[in-house]
Amino acid sequence: MKIAYDFHIHTAASPCGDEYMSPNNIINMAKLNGLQAIAITDHNTCANCEVIMKLGKENNLLVIPGMEIECLEEFHCIALFPDINTAKQIEQYVQAHMPNMKNRIDIFGHQSIMNEEDEVVGEIERLLLTASGISAEALFEQVRNVGGVIYPAHIDRNSYSIISNLGFIPDELKIGTIEISKSASLQMYKTKYENITIIQSSDAHYLQDISEEGNVIEAQSVCVADIFKSIDDYYKRHI
């Protein structure tokens, strides 16, 4: 079946995420846009995933816990996890390898933790917008080891992308999936990367940026296990 998705959505926990990127607003906008599955991918944290997963369940919308992780090579990767516990495990691992710098709210913005009433219940003190110091190879291995999937984010962009930073996709990473931005040409990337699954997500930092129905992935059913089978197919066939 075809599943309408958006697997790259920030919340107010990301310093660059708008304050209106709250749990209920994200769920409501995704439902309004006809999406069936979304992933919450804040920078180097999964602090708001659990509450949004709960609301998703109540609203018949699959919410996959995820993170946008910056590796040592300074490009962004989207990691999606089978459940919240594995997400937290990798969050700990990533944060242990990040410089322990305090966020400057006046420069970077708030990093808000929210509850299911959309109230701010906490502020993440350490700065999340930093490289993790973990090589891409080690990061990919760790995420796959816990049953997650991982792929390079917005490869069409001029900054923080695998192509802008390395110039190519290294074989060692056994990449089966790449992400392109909302504005990139899906057809062009399909032609360029024939054997690779291409995910086109919004990288929404504002509510109005969340994808409208249109990006679809083929999977057997709307569940994490089936969606992961579609996402990392190439990698599984080559190990």
For Zn ion, the binding residues (CB under 5 A) are: 68, 76, 153, 203
Q: Shortest distance, CB of residue 14 to Zn ion, whole angstroms? A: 7
Instruction: For the beta carbon of residue 85, count every other beta carbon within 10 angstroms.
Output: 11
Q: Shortest distance, CB of residue 8 to Zn ion, whole angstroms? A: 6
28 half-sphere exposure, CB direction, 13 A CA radius? 10
On the 0-12 / 13-18 / 19+ scale of CB atoms within 10 A, 96 is exposed
153 vs 227 by CB, closer to Zn ion:
153
Cα–Cα distance measured from residue 76 to residue 21, given in angstroms and rounded to the nearest whole number:
20
85 vs 135 by CB, closer to Zn ion:
135
Q: Shortest distance, CB of residue 97 to Zn ion, whole angstroms? A: 18
144 vs 205 by CB, closer to Zn ion:
205
Q: Shortest distance, CB of residue 172 to Zn ion, whole angstroms? A: 22
18 vs 203 by CB, closer to Zn ion:
203
Cα–Cα distance measured from residue 184 to residue 44, given in angstroms and rounded to the nearest whole number:
25
Cα–Cα distance measured from residue 75 to residue 46, given in angstroms and rounded to the nearest whole number:
19
Closest residue to Zn ion: CB criterion = 76
Cα–Cα distance measured from residue 30 to residue 45, given in angstroms and rounded to the nearest whole number:
21
Q: Shortest distance, CB of residue 232 to Zn ion, whole angstroms? A: 20
116 vs 209 by CB, closer to Zn ion:
209
